[in-house]
Amino acid sequence: MKIELVRRARDWQERTAVLDCAGKHSYEELLEAAARVASALRGERSDLEEARVAFLIPPSFDYVAVQWGIWLAGGVAVPLCLSHPEPELRYVLEDTEAEAVIVTPATIDQIGKAGEDSRLLPVSEALEAEPKPLPDVKAARRAQILYTSGTTSRPKGVVSTHANLRAQIRSLVQAWGWSEQDRIPEILPLHHTHGIVNVLCCALWSGATCEMPPRFDPARVWERIASGELTLLMAVPTIYVKLIRFWEEQPPERRDELSKSCRRLRLMVSGSAALPVSVLERWKEISGHVLLERYGMTEIGMALSNPLDGERRPGTVGFPLPGVELRLVDEAGAPIAEDGREGEIEVRGETVFQEYWRRPEETRAAFREGWFRTGDMAVVEDGYWRILGRSSIDIIKTGGYKVSALEIEEVLRTHPGLAECTVVGVEDAEWGERVCCAAVCRSGESVTLDGLREWARERLAVYKVPTRLRLLAELPRNAMGKVIKPDVKKLFEE
Ligand code: AMP
């Protein structure tokens, strides 16, 4: 057994690895439970030899025992999304040809017919199997497949090896100073790299404690912050917005208490989508913390981060993380040497994934001379990297100008009548693409296109000012809270 994350757990033994609804679970218990799951999966076989095993399990000790059990048995972990309907689950199960799906009484119905061709294994049954000697699992083996949505094609399975995951964890543990004294709540979906690697794996690698409530609830998170026991918080911008909203609804005395309790945390991190500067500023007023914004992707883990110590610059994602090589290239693929010129981010190093599952063509196309082409545009200013958005969707080509949707959103968000907004480019015979804005008004406010344009013209170059506006009750978002821009585009194309 060579899985370093699991091997390290032996050093922590009685320490609490996971705290869930059922109570505390030590590292020792985790190792034993994982060994049982591994036995249940293997049956008479000595090694799963990279067979895919899917699981649909709410955040809990059982989730971790199953994840580690699959790894110990030599299998590839395929965590399923709790909010996915049957057709999406079916797609993942068929694409991975998962030989088994591990379920709980709460999730078995959700799998429904999607699980017809796989063995359905209740987690309670898996945890009862007798532990047996474990196979030797080398770091070069495939460990995990996570599904990531493209803008045009069906989701692709991102395959990471144990070595990839180890490199991703090591980089973050070093950069963010993880230790066994840390305690973090897991409030992110567990089918996505942010929740899996940045939170869960980094915590367990470090001998820290991961609190796993069944779902995200702002009241509960604030309660845990107020307990003074947490040291870390990691979330996506939408979660910080919800925490801000909850805080604002509290009576003044309680607000005060909650704000004071934030000082006990040593670090709060935001990522997976651009953090609006307005959210960073409001959170600072409330918590006293400057959120550390970082940039990453399922395929590469984390790549850029503002510093743990030192200046965190709003609107930027800081510098390359340890062990991650980055470069910016122009449209011809030539590296850009000078600061201030926009380019596409390319990444190299052990953190970078192995392949798209059974998609050799797409895997080949995703790399250039050994560098992974992220499809994200950025610019380096004074050493700090600033993300301009995905080249395919956030870089809008309008009237001969190239503009960043993220930059326009950042400005529009400061409009007093708007609660939220998103900007997309929609094909147009005259302009190439038109800058279109979908927005949600603050309650009691209404915003017209003419009014918005007049306001925006004083703040943005005229070609960046939206020429179409659609008001919505809410923006379409995925399970990670990210705006689904292709769906927004369709609204304008209809
Ligand atoms: P995912 O693979 O789901 O984590 O999505 C990765 C994508 O999220 C990246 O390719 C970026 O487009 C976007 N992203 C992640 N972090 C940030 C950030 N801090 N700022 C802007 N975009 C981000």
Q: Enter the tokens of residue 26.
A: 């030590």
pTM of the model: 0.93
Residue of 237, 370, 360, 347 whose CA lies nearest to 298 = 347
Q: How far apart are the first and last CA of the chain?
A: 55
Q: Is the dihedral of CA 332, 333, 337, 342 positive or negative?
A: positive
- The overall average pLDDT reported for the chain is 95
- What are the strands, taking DSSP E only, across 236-370? 267-270, 292-297, 301-305, 319-320, 325-329, 343-348, 355-356, 367-368
Residue of 123, 134, 201 whose CA lies nearest to 165 = 201
Burial 328-353 (b: 16+ CB within 10 A, else e): bbeeeeeebeeeeebbbbbbbbbbbb
In the chain, what are the helix, strand and coil shares in percent, each to the nearest 5?
35, 25, 40
Residue 377, strand partner residues:
344, 389
Pocket probe for ligand 1: among 272, 306, 321, 394, the residue whose CB has the most ligand atoms within 8 Å is 272
How many other β-carbons are positioned within 10 Å of the β-carbon of residue 206? 21
Instruction: State pLDDT tens for residues 284-296.
Output: 999 999 999 999 9
Q: Is 126 left (phi over 0), alpha (psi -120 to 50) or beta?
A: alpha
Pocket probe for ligand 1: among 145, 238, 299, 387, the residue whose CB has the most ligand atoms within 8 Å is 387
Distance (Å, rounded) from C-alpha 147 to C-alpha 154? 9
Using CB atoms within 10 Å of the CB of residue 450, give its burial: 0 to 12 exposed, 13 to 18 middle, 19+ buried.
Answer: exposed
Q: At what angle do helices 252-262 and 237-248 cross, to 10 degrees?
A: 140
* Average pLDDT of the segment spanning 438-465: 95
* Average pLDDT of the segment spanning 154-175: 97
* Average pLDDT of the segment spanning 196-204: 98
Residue of 286, 385, 397 whose CA lies nearest to 331 = 397
Instruction: State pLDDT tens for residues 251-300.
Output: 999 999 999 999 999 999 999 999 999 999 999 999 999 999 999 999 99
Distance (Å, rounded) from C-alpha 387 to C-alpha 377? 6
Pocket probe for ligand 1: among 376, 409, 423, the residue whose CB has the most ligand atoms within 8 Å is 376
Task: Check residue 494 and give its pLDDT.
Answer: 83
Residue 302, strand partner residues:
296
Task: Check residue 152 and give its pLDDT.
Answer: 57
Residue 151 predicted with pLDDT over 60: no
Residue 432, strand partner residues:
398, 428
Q: Enter the tokens of residue 84.
A: 């996915």
Question: Residue type for 433, please?
Answer: E
Instruction: State pLDDT tens for residues 11-42.
Output: 999 999 999 999 999 999 999 999 999 999 99
| pLDDT confidence tier of residue 150, bands split at 50, 70 and 90 | low
Question: Residue type for 154, please?
Answer: R
CA of 23 to the centre of ligand 1 (A): 34
Q: Enter the tokens of residue 9.
A: 């757990």
Residue 392 predicted with pLDDT over 90: no
Distance (Å, rounded) from C-alpha 164 to C-alpha 354? 8
Distance (Å, rounded) from C-alpha 185 to C-alpha 308? 19
Residue 283's SS3 state is helix
* Average pLDDT of the segment spanning 324-339: 95
Q: Tell me the DSSP string of 23-70.
A: EEEEHHHHHHHHHHHHHHHHTT-S--TT-EEEEE--SSHHHHHHHHHH
Q: Whose CA is nearest to atom 6 of ligand 1?
A: 297
Distance (Å, rounded) from C-alpha 144 to C-alpha 147? 10
The binding-site residues of ligand 1, defined as CB within 6 angstroms of any ligand atom, are 148, 193, 271-274, 293, 295-298, 317, 374, 376, 387, 390
Q: Kindly state the helix (H) or strand (E) to which residue 258 belongs, with its residue range.
A: helix 252-262
